[in-house]
Amino acid sequence: MSSLGLIVPQATLLIGILALNALYIFGDDQDDQTSWRVQGFVLLLAFCQQLTLYRVGDRVFLTGGLILDGLSQTLSLAVLGLSIVVHFSRRYERAPFSSHGQILSLSCVLLALCSIQNNRFLFGLLALIGMLWSGVATLGSDISGERQQKAIQKGISQGVLFIVVGTFLNLLCFSTFGTTQLDEIRRMLTRPGFDPEALAAVQIMVVFIGASIMGIPPFFSAWGRVRQHSSWSFAVGITGIFAIAGLNVLLRWGVWTFSRPQIGGTSLEPLATINMLEMVRVVSMVALMLIPLIILYTKNLRQGFLTLLLTPLAQSLFLISFGQRVSFGVGIGQVVTMVIIFGLVMTAFIGLKLPQGSTLKNWLGLGRVNPFQVSILLLALGAAVGLAPFFGSLVVENALRINDYSVFVILANVLLGGIYVARLGMLAFQKTTVKVHPPVFLTGREKIWYASQLILLFFMGIFRDPLYISLYEYGNFSVRHFFGDM
Amino acid sequence: MGVKLNLKTTVLTLLLVTTCALGLLIAQPIGASWVLVAGLVFLGVLFFDDRGQLTSSWITTLSVGAIYASLVWALTEPSSEGFWRSTAGAVFFFGFLYEHNSPSWSGKNLFSSAFAPSLLFFVLVISQGAAVFSPEGSAVLNFSAVLVFALYELFIVFRDKGDYLSSSSISALRVGSCGIVTLFFGSTYMPSVIHMYPLNSISYLVPAMGLLLALASLAFSDVKRSYVFFTTSWNLFLLWAVLADEEYRLYAAILGAIAGAWSVAMANIDEGALEDFKSVYLKLSSWGFPGSFLFTAIVFILLPSQKPTVQLGSLIWAITFLTFWWGVIRMPWPKEGGTASWGWRRQVAVVVTMIGASGLAGATIFPGLFKAVWGGGV
């Protein structure tokens, strides 16, 4: 297989965008079904194409600066999987199928893949900015009037901020290393003589960009209130895609570039004066503490759930930040299960048909009216927090095995997040003085769609070894590349 | 006397049987015996569930299946961390099952929620694997987790309508699961530090807690709340039996775990009056009164021992059960009305308590038989 084969999924997505454009220009305005089917087919095809790339030889670099290894492969699959779930959920949400919304969402997925598989700061940053703009515009496509204008304006201004930071980052890289290619920079860093202040500035900017794109608190200003007004499927889906892309920035641009495998290949050691692993750990620790505190004080359900959903990635980032080979596979495994969690929360919340701006008052007694949807939502939130028997508990367990007192932060995160889920569970089945919404009856197909995701999540938790082992040592899914034994 | 099977019952039975078969396939020989015990508990409770509580909705049915799958997975795990994590999964599903099936309550106190002990259990068991803890610290966390599981229903019993699930099939599953987890942990993973000072005081602490629960139950005239204290105490009793570290006491406790779970499911203590002899027999049987399956299990576990800790513990437990029985005798039982409905399952239940009692008595006389069966695996 030619190395150009690596860009086949991106090419498929690009053709899909062109096809949707063609349908938009030449097709019937009322024919939403055709464009929906085209988008679904393109996403499924790209997912299958990406899946087959595990057979390509390990660590392939293209002249254009794309990279393929276990991390980029797994994260790309996670992005494509999540976009497929979003796409099918929109049908159940009965959200309007605006053509420009579909084109923008597909563009966002394409740019997310480009940013994940990129081997250069420069092109990676361009992809991220494009992803940010198309992502915000996707969310804005669900809104109308003045809110839409404000949302898009906010997105553009955020993009400009990233352009400024990214320009400084690239200038510093050019002046310090003469290139923005990540593997070259990593190779150069093994030799002494670089200005420690310039290195520190590059590292800080990388962490800022990664955490901001990821959306973890306190870096979550990129969104504004746009997610509050858009459709639920786009809100969750775009949050997930950005979180995965941000995680990639922190791991690829940060951890991978500024560390190297120790002798024996079981752990990573820093290459710069500032330990990148420790920086990432501090960021993830702050996020792990802030996420549950924010959700416990948030009455708005949508905002609470969207913040809570970042927990698996923050836990994963925390575990990976210890730079140990054994825990790396578990951390990346959590990203895969995160896709199912996002999908479940998305579909179950859609199934409840709660109005926008719903608070805990609307939640009270809802479990008695819509037990199926509420049960699935509660279990998915439990999985997001990291409770057993789901895969997240393995992440918590692996983190606690590390001989460091900072690991208790993840325990506090699970405890506080668990309190939130327990409170939701308690309130869902209680007496209510507020007029509850009428029950929402699900069709048999919808129930099967919901239940199949839940069963998959449950089995990923109890039969965790296949997932873990494949990420640990199998072909291009493995994390061995990080630890230098290729 | 026809057997009425609906779709949910059939699905749950198939789930339990299939999971049990899979568990037997993947388990080590000793683990296979435990998988069988868990299967007996769950299938037995499903059999005696004449009120259809376990199949009242698809959510309940699938949750019971998930609990059993998590429990079987725990019993077949090769490491203690895996065992505890999978058990925590089962306990999480219990929290969900209790909240989903209990009537609405005020919901003002998070500690009265069934999710509270589930969360506490998870935090304790996941912390025990932390590298920063010494073996003694991990052992304390393990035992704290077991205690939380044993005291599970005390969290919810004090809320309004908290007595609703007392003596229900869900409660029976909880009692049985807790018994199996306690005994499996004690016989397989119990750390050696537990027999060293000061951790060995747990052997005194557990019977003392049982006695306290018995005394506390006297304060309730409500039979259902009082029964929660009894079942909680029963789980502590099994924990004490495994702490004794004597082989025959462990075997007896395994039978006690099955008998305890079945008795809770059979009892149906909120139906029937004193006029109905069979109903009274089953009710008393669920309190471990003479002549019942449970009573023989008590006697079997309280066999004489040479260890001073066990001797003292046996004495405290004997006083504990006498206190519970005294409380039952002075409790105002309904004298008329509310005749229990007697289906074929309840007839079988009466027969099982009688035959089971004789069977246990036989095992007491021929203890080698049980050892041969258990020691040989399956």
At A307-328, the pLDDT tens digits run 999 999 999 999 999 988 878 8
Q: Is the pLDDT of residue A447 over 80?
A: no
Measured between CB atoms, which of A379, A401, A423 is closest to B110? A423
Touching B: A residues 220-249, CB under 8 Å: none
Q: Is the pLDDT of residue B376 over 50?
A: no
Beta-carbon count within 10 A of A181 CB: 22
Q: Are B353 and B44 in contact (CB under 8 A)?
A: no
Q: How far apart are CA B173 and CA B270, in angstroms?
A: 18
- Residue A429 has a pLDDT of 85
Residues B6-28 pLDDT 10s: 888 999 999 999 999 999 988 87
Q: Is the pLDDT of residue A330 over 60?
A: yes
Q: Report the run of H or E that residue A68 belongs to, with start and end.
A: strand A67-68
Touching A: B residues 208-267, CB under 8 Å: none
Span of A281-295, A379-393, A449-463 with lowest mean pLDDT: A449-463
- Residue B194 has a pLDDT of 74
Question: Strand A60-61 vs strand A268-270: parallel, antiparallel, or unpaired?
Answer: unpaired
Phi and psi at B298, nearest 5°, equal -60, -50
Phi and psi at A118, nearest 5°, equal -80, 145
Determine what percent of chain A is predicted with pLDDT higher than 70. 88
- Residue B2 has a pLDDT of 45
- Residue A59 has a pLDDT of 58
Measured between CB atoms, which of B58, B73, B110 is closest to A462? B73
Residues B280-304 pLDDT 10s: 888 888 888 877 888 888 888 887 7
Query: Is the model more confident about A119 or about A437?
Result: A119
- Residue B363 has a pLDDT of 58
Q: How far apart are CA B213 and CA B211, in angstroms?
A: 5
Q: Letter for the amino acid at B73?
A: W
Confidence tier at B175 by pLDDT (50, 70, 90): very high
Residues A284-311 pLDDT 10s: 999 999 999 999 998 888 889 999 999 9
Contact of B102 with chain A, judged by CB distance below 8 Å, is answered with yes
Confidence tier at B67 by pLDDT (50, 70, 90): very high
Q: Do B102 and A429 touch (CB under 8 A)?
A: yes
Contacts of B105 in chain A (CB under 8 A): 430-431
Residues B124-135 pLDDT 10s: 999 988 888 888
Q: Is the pLDDT of residue B111 over 70?
A: yes
Q: Do B96 and A379 touch (CB under 8 A)?
A: yes
Confidence tier at A448 by pLDDT (50, 70, 90): confident
- Residue B377 has a pLDDT of 43
Determine the average pLDDT of the residues in A345-370: 85
Residues A10-38 pLDDT 10s: 999 999 999 988 888 887 766 677 888 89
Q: How far apart are CA B54 and CA B168, in angstroms?
A: 9
Residues A234-281 pLDDT 10s: 889 999 999 999 999 999 999 988 988 887 767 888 888 888 999 999
Q: Are A177 and A147 in contact (CB under 8 A)?
A: no
Contact of B127 with chain A, judged by CB distance below 8 Å, is answered with yes
Peptide bond into B78 cis (omega under 30): no
Contacts of A433 (CB under 8 A, 6+ apart): none
Q: Is the pLDDT of residue B316 over 70?
A: yes
Determine the average pLDDT of the residues in B337-363: 73
This complex has an ipTM of: 0.89
Contacts of A378 in chain B (CB under 8 A): 96
- Residue B378 has a pLDDT of 35
Residues A202-229 pLDDT 10s: 999 999 999 999 988 887 655 666 777 7
Contacts of B90 in chain A (CB under 8 A): 389
Q: Is the pLDDT of residue A438 over 60?
A: yes
- Residue A467 has a pLDDT of 66
Contact of B90 with chain A, judged by CB distance below 8 Å, is answered with yes
Determine the average pLDDT of the residues in B199-223: 88
Determine the average pLDDT of the residues in A153-165: 83
Determine the average pLDDT of the residues in B156-176: 81
Find which of A363, A400, A457 to mutate to test the B interface (most B CBs within 10 Å of its CB): A400
Contacts of B83 in chain A (CB under 8 A): none
Query: Is the model more confident about A62 or about A194?
Result: A194
Contact of B126 with chain A, judged by CB distance below 8 Å, is answered with yes
Q: How far apart are CA B209 and CA B316, in angstroms?
A: 10
Question: Which residue of chain B has the CA closest to A406?
Answer: B132
Determine what percent of chain B is predicted with pLDDT higher than 90. 38
Measured between CB atoms, which of A365, A382, A419 is closest to B92? A382
Q: Are B94 and B118 in contact (CB under 8 A)?
A: yes
Angle between helices B80-101 and A408-428 (to 10 degrees): 20
Q: How far apart are CA A262 and CA A268, in angstroms?
A: 5
Q: Are A130 and A142 in contact (CB under 8 A)?
A: no
Contacts of A462 in chain B (CB under 8 A): 69-70, 73, 86, 89
Touching B: A residues 396-425, CB under 8 Å: 396-397, 400-405, 407-408, 411, 414-415, 418-419, 421-423, 425
Q: How far apart are CA B118 and CA B148, in angstroms?
A: 8
DSSP A436: P
Confidence tier at A42 by pLDDT (50, 70, 90): very high
- Residue B244 has a pLDDT of 85
Contacts of A316 (CB under 8 A, 6+ apart): A247, A331, A332, A334, A335, A338, A395
Q: Is the pLDDT of residue B203 over 60?
A: yes
Output the six-digit token pair for B240.
């004490």
- Nearest CA to B240 out of B203, B208, B209 is that of B203
User: A11 exposed, middle or buried (CB, 10 Å; 0-12, 13-18, 19+)?
Assistant: middle
- Residue B272 has a pLDDT of 54
- Residue A473 has a pLDDT of 62
Confidence tier at B375 by pLDDT (50, 70, 90): low
Contact of A433 with chain B, judged by CB distance below 8 Å, is answered with no
Q: How far apart are CA B245 and CA B110, in angstroms?
A: 37
Residues B248-273 pLDDT 10s: 888 889 989 999 999 988 876 665 55
Tracing tokens 């001797």 back to the chain, one arrives at: B311
Q: Is the pLDDT of residue B352 over 60?
A: yes
